[in-house]
Amino acid sequence: MGKKLVLLAVLAVALTLFATSVYAQEGAPEAAGRRAVNPEETISWFETIMQGGVIGFIIIGLSIASLALATEHFMTIKRDALVPPELLGHLESLFEDEEYEEAMTLCESAPNFLTNVIAAGLPRIGQPYEQIEAAMQEAGEQEAVKLHQKISYLSLIGNVSPMLGLFGTVTGMIVAFNVIARSSGAPSPADLANGIQVALVTTFLGLLVAIPTIACYFYFRNKVIRIVMEVGTIAEELMERFRPAEEVAA
């Protein structure tokens, strides 16, 4: 599901780039810059955002990707999805009845964070407890890496968005200074408005996308850390019965 969302995000960015090319061909920004301005006329937010140009559309595409990823993470990165209560209760009852083969079958039939960790330790029952513990620890680390990689796209978008906004700022200022360089006299504010507006709008869009995206990333990162610790504790409690008596007494 995560790969599908990434593909949808890429498609969204491609669509925004296509819309940008159509918008540029129609010459909307130029026409807007040349038309007479009514002092009492107000510009809508949509019209303002349209002044962001190609970079602005790319940032909007990233915002769509960020929203899709955050929605997917809210649905999948939660305790009941990674550690289903009913499944945990079933595993505990099987361990109490010493039905370890049935527990292994259950883990293989319902793969998730918890069952993958337990399934790594079950085949090593009868071996020294250190080997059981090491196998579960390795499986837990692998599952944790998968989750951290999954949410890392939010971090990427949160860091790239303001950089794109800064790129738009520099681009807009270059446009404004080109107007100054080509003017025989002092350019009017209207002549400089196009470049300055691109600079401000792209900066605004970059920050608008980055702030909530980074906040969501840290929220999910902390959630992953809590779930990883909880799964480790549950797995250790289930396998505690195989620890040598002298170690438990110590």
Using 50, 70 and 90 to split pLDDT, how confident is the model at 30? very low
- 198/87 Cα distance (integer angstroms): 54
pTM listed for this prediction:
0.75
Least confident of 82-86, 111-115, 180-184, 219-223: 180-184
Least confident of 10-14, 37-41, 165-169, 192-196: 10-14
Query: Does the pLDDT of residue 229 top 90, yes or no?
Result: yes
Residue 14 confidence (pLDDT): 45
Confidence of residue 45 (pLDDT cuts 50, 70, 90): low
Each residue's pLDDT tens digit, 52-106: 788 889 999 999 999 999 999 999 999 898 999 999 999 999 999 989 999 999 9
Q: Which residue would you say has higher pLDDT here, 195 or 203? A: 203
Cα(195)–Cα(170) distance, rounded to whole angstroms?
9
Q: What pLDDT does 25 receive?
A: 38
Cα angle: 33, vertex 200, 166; to 5 degrees: 125
Average confidence (pLDDT) over 38-50: 63
pLDDT at 7 over 50: no
A 10 A CB-CB count for 140 gives 21
Q: Kindly indicate the confidence band of residue 41, based on its pLDDT and cuts at 50, 70 and 90.
A: low
Average pLDDT, the chain: 81
pLDDT attached to residue 22: 39
pLDDT value at position 16? 45
Phi-psi region of 186 (alpha: psi -120 to 50; beta: other; left: phi over 0): beta
Question: Torsion angle of alpha carbons 177, 182, 185, 186, nearest 10°?
Answer: -20
**Can you read off the two tokens belonging to residue 188?**
């009017």
What is the predicted pLDDT for the residue at 38?
Answer: 53
Amino acid at 154: L
* Alpha helices by DSSP H, the chain: 2-26, 28-34, 45-50, 53-76, 79-82, 85-96, 100-109, 113-121, 129-182, 189-239, 245-249
Residue 186 has pLDDT above 80, yes or no: no
DSSP state letter for 27 = T
pLDDT (0 to 100) of residue 180: 79
Q: Supply the pLDDT for residue 2.
A: 46
pLDDT digit string, tens, across residues 134-144:
999 999 999 99
**Structure confidence at residue 3 (pLDDT):** 47
Three-state SS for 158-214 is: HHHHHHHHHHHHHHHHHHHHHHHHHCCCCCCHHHHHHHHHHHHHHHHHHHHHHHHHH
Query: Do 25 and 52 meet the contact criterion of CB atoms below 8 Å apart?
Result: no
Q: What is the CA radius of gyration of the chain?
A: 28
- Are the beta carbons of 153 and 69 closer than 8 angstroms? yes
What the block records as the tokens of 27 is 């010459």
